[in-house]
Amino acid sequence: MRNLICWCPETQQPVNLQIYTDYVTLALIWSNPVRFECPHCGAKHEMTVGAACLQTTVARTASSEMHEALTEAHEAYWRTARSPKPLKRPDKATSGT
């Protein structure tokens, strides 16, 4: 079992969610919401499990590399999470007249 870690959207600091899971379960709950009170800013945050990572993945990387990798992954997540989705236009129905 691995510990799930995510980031405070205000301070960008890592937050230990104290949720222990394995890779199979993580894949099953990937899109589920997770809510927590942040120890860094005191606010209540909600995000998907997919925005977090397993602690052992983080621990394997050297600290400077880890910071760079986490920052890049975190920024990529927020770019996609906040980017507006394109609107689909309904197909125009053609009449038989």
Task: Give 78's Cβ-side CA count (13 Å radius).
Answer: 11
Please give the pLDDT value at position 61.
46
- For residues 13 and 53, the model is more confident at 13
Q: Is the pLDDT of residue 84 over 60?
A: no
What residues contact residue 93 under an 8 Å CB cut-off, 6+ apart? none
Q: Is the pLDDT of residue 86 over 70?
A: no
Cβ contact 1:21 at 8 Å:
yes
The rounded distance, in Å, linking the Cα atoms of 83 and 58 is: 26
User: How much helix, strand and coil, in percent to the nearest 5, is found in the chain?
Assistant: 35, 25, 35
- The pTM of the full predicted model, rounded to 2 decimals, is 0.53
Please state the separation of Cα 73 from the chain's center in Å.
Answer: 9
Give mean pLDDT, residues 35-51.
92
- For residues 49 and 76, the model is more confident at 49
